[in-house]
Structure 1
């Protein structure tokens, strides 16, 4: 199994409310084009022939018969001007994939968010950090948590305080490589694998779950993950 992370940066949106509304609608359209086009890189299917459905809690997925035939799983994430699309190949219905990208936002109450959504052990990792170091620990934890809830497909229907992650002992990651981490409190009967890395001005989080009968008994390494920039989005779909 390989995981492909396609990423595209939209032009920044400025102007009045009407202009921003139109720009955001355009982004949604382009995002759908990118999804269809990238899926077609992994199967001999025309981009407009892909069909989609939503799970019980709203997670998008391929129609069941297409997923069985082409063995692809995907997940999308947006943050500010960035779109990230994760696609896993050779992935059956017992493979769970989630990705999250986060770009820091000015004047965001990170400490308040952590107190409300992070586990006790995660808040302990943040305790005592200098103000400048706080975001460099907060955001890796946040993208890991977001990627996990997206992989499960249950989103915020599950408590974010009920599970957590332990970052490397250095506490303040400075490497640009993927870092794998361990999680606690995860859904049972699934082997969960988690990783994060710096990306642009923020962070990427990735979660892979292998359920019973998934046909894969190992998670991923850095060599299994490919970051692929999209210079120009597809058109005419």
Structure 2
């Protein structure tokens, strides 16, 4: 598990390179950027600022602004583009992508997720991916939710757990399924019970199996992430032979 340090981490000015087999997953602790809120808000597009203004609560508005500004800052380092100049387009079900076909941007794929005061940004080159992070909610009825939305095999596994173990198991499946749907770019239109996440024993690796046919989706693999104790996270990546690199945004100079 990642742990917070009471001392400021050393900041690297050397940004990690992204190879064809690399998957970078950035963990962002949003409150650490609160002092730079105004400068970061200025990086957002007009549409993003309009969307931010619709939030009823200042806390949610600030989290939206910080997470989307950090996404821009990270993507600017990969694409060698000014953060404020990055433009996005959306697919049929709302999956975002970088607009433009320059050599620096055409192969960069990304996924943003945020929950509470945290965000994840996953980035890869030439392969689709999706990421999800969730703060574990103490009042979540894990078994009831699993029986309503999950595949039968997943619900059965959650039933065998009790207390905290059940809650962690539920969110392990939930984030894996959300990451897969985001990576495919289909949203919840597919249905969470249409496919089953099969973890390989006690490992963090998982595959996808369709509940109707029993066939596996050979093009996608999932990895649960090691985060803070009260968080669950996962990344779903298209293709074989990729290497996961978990990174913390505060360890690098982004602006």
TM-score by length of 1: 0.78
Q: Does 1:133 align with 2:165?
A: yes
Q: Report the CA distance shift for 1:234/1:68 in structure 2 as closer, same or farther (over 3 A).
A: closer
1:228 aligns with 2:220: no
Which residue, out of 200, 203, 225, partners 1:197? 225
Structure 2 CA distance for partners of 1:188 and 1:119, relative to 1, 3 Å: closer
Q: Does 1:120 align with 2:152?
A: yes
1:175 matched residue in structure 2: none
Aligned-partner Cα distance in 1 for 2:105–2:218: 23
Q: Following TM superposition, by how much is the alpha carbon of 1:86 offset from its aligned partner in structure 2, in angstroms? A: 0.5
Map of 2:30 onto structure 1: 10
Asked if the contact 1:208–1:219 (Cα under 8 Å) also holds between the matched residues in 2, the reply is no
Q: CA deviation at 1:32?
A: 2.2
1:151: how far off? 0.6
Q: Check conservation: 1:33, 1:233, Cα contact below 8 A.
A: no
Aligned residues: CA RMSD: 2.9
Distance in 1, matches of 2:132 and 2:205, equals 15
CA distance in 2, matches of 1:66, 1:164: 38
Moved more, 185-194 or 43-52: 185-194
1:151-178 superposed Cα distances (whole Å, 9 cap, x missing partner)? 11111111110101123445xxxxxxx7
Structure 1 residue 66: Cα displacement = 4.6
Structure 2 unaligned segments of length 5 or more: list them: 1-20, 35-54
The answer as to whether partners of 1:140 and 1:197 remain within 8 angstroms in 2 is no
Report how many aligned residue pairs link the two structures.
210
Q: Mean Cα displacement is larger for which, 102-111 or 226-235?
A: 226-235
Question: Does 29-38 or 142-151 show the bigger shift?
Answer: 29-38
Q: Which moved more, 1:3-12 or 1:193-202?
A: 3-12
Aligned counterpart for 1:43 among listed residues 59, 71, 79: 79
